[in-house]
Amino acid sequence: EQESLSNEDKGVIIYGQRWWQILFYCLINFSNGILWITFAPIASETANFYGVTLNYVNALSLVFMIVYLPVVFFASWALDVKGLRFGLSVGCILTILGGWVRACAFKSSLFWVLMIGQTLAAIAQPFILNAPPKVASNWFPENERTTATTICSVANPIGVAIGFLIPPIFSDNIPILLAIEAVIVTIFGLVMLIFTRSKPPTPPSISQASTDEEFSISQLAQATKSLFTDIHYILLLIAFGIGLGCYNTLATLLEQILIVYGFGDAAAGLLGALVILCGLCGAGISGYIADTLHCYKLLLFIAFSFGALSIAAFVLVLEARNLVILGFSAALIGFCITPVIPLGLELGCEISYPIGEATPSGFLLASGQIVGIATTIGLTELINQERVLLAGWICVLAVAFAALVILPMKVTLRRREFEQNRLKLQVQT
């Protein structure tokens, strides 16, 4: 179905099926998020079942951050050079394979099999997480791109939310849990493999029409060099990395933090889901504002600033040991920090245009993994020493620093400027 036609010389068409394409993408992003966070809300039960320490359980989540770094280059190449469908298919197949390998770890002596399955799903992650701006650019017009990126980006946190809620139900039967999750990711993955397309027959925007040819490998190398010589992209890289890294660390260690204060895995699952679900609201609101006003820098500064305040509130109320108050502060964390992900990804594509969307997005996400590795390892040691408050204040200061890093950043929306200039030229001719 074609909704509108404009820019006759370029044949720009907006297709109604774009919403189906975004749904198919969200299914596999959702699935990968479930596999990543499976063991965070049942860390103690997992350690007991497999006879390992909590450090090994944390490694099941940490492997996603570690593997991301070397794989991100291949993922960017696959998405920008070989095309969206090719890259997503690689991620989808690896996610399904990882889910079933994990399901084979049905005995307490098979922790190593579990780790192999997690590693396969971790390798899949960059092929999936790098894609939201690519999906938005390939299928959506300029006035819907940030909203589309937001929807794609929050699909992974939705999977994480489900990943927080389901495991506590099956905490006494981990093999059944792994089998159920394998079935879920297989069904969703097959839908994506069958129905996903790289792009519509005709591009949906002027900028996409002008850069519709796929990247070559040499262009990808040049684009990488260009990104890392742009001080404003580097500032965004630092701030985004801190925000995403702290977010991932809190998700990974939430149950272990709450255990110190007498809460169980059910409370961890509930609070984790609150973080994600309220984050969806924050991301949706900020995405609409960004599509309307294009004030990415201001929105990021607000998100980081209030994100730091919300983490501080969570740390301050921990001693109260009141689940309702903790739930309210966890909801604030999600509402404030989750918008950083789609806003940062979309801004990265704007300031780096005409570089392919998967490349700047991939490096932004990689920076989050680097910070996540460091903070997860460091804060785990503090939590093991029951110095939870110190760990919390470190996160507060880190996110507050990210807000300050955003301030000197000069934002030039190159993709939007290109589209506006082309429109003016067409009017004149």
**Concatenated DSSP letters for 256-279?**
HHHHHTT--HHHHHHHHHHHHHHH
Tell me the C-alpha distance between 345 and 192, whole Å: 23
Mean pLDDT lowest among 35-49, 77-91, 343-357, 363-377: 343-357
Tell me the C-alpha distance between 98 and 250, whole Å: 24
What percent of the chain shows pLDDT beyond 70?
94
Retrieve residue 59's tokens: 């490694």
| Among the listed residues 65, 416, 17, 38, the one whose alpha carbon sits nearest the alpha carbon of residue 195 | 17
Determine phi and psi for 214, rounding to 5 degrees: -70, 150
- Give the burial string for 309-331 (b: 16+ CB within 10 Å, else e): bbbbbbbebbeeeebeebbbbbb
Write out pLDDT tens, residues 240-260.
999 999 988 988 888 888 888
What percent of the chain shows pLDDT beyond 90?
49
Write out pLDDT tens, residues 41-79.
898 899 999 999 988 998 998 899 899 989 988 898 888
Residue 309 has pLDDT above 90, yes or no: yes
| Among the listed residues 159, 50, 157, 54, the one whose alpha carbon sits nearest the alpha carbon of residue 99 | 159
Q: CA gyration radius for the chain?
A: 21
Cis-peptide into 354, omega within 30 deg: yes
3-class SS at 79? helix
Tell me the C-alpha distance between 3 and 374, whole Å: 47
| Chain CA centroid to CA 133, Å | 12
Contact 365, 79 (CB under 8 A): no
Tell me the C-alpha distance between 295 and 245, whole Å: 23
| Chain CA centroid to CA 168, Å | 23
Give me the helices (H) in 130-173, please: 132-139, 145-169
CA distances for 280 relative to 2, 156, 182, 344, 377, angstroms: 29, 11, 25, 15, 28
Residue 297 has pLDDT above 90, yes or no: yes
Retrieve residue 275's tokens: 């973080």
Instruction: Give the pLDDT of residue 234.
Output: 94
Determine phi and psi for 12, rounding to 5 degrees: -75, 125
Instruction: Give the pLDDT of residue 5.
Output: 40
Tell me the C-alpha distance between 193 and 196, whole Å: 6
Instruction: Give the pLDDT of residue 344.
Output: 93
Q: Please tell me the pTM assigned to this model.
A: 0.81
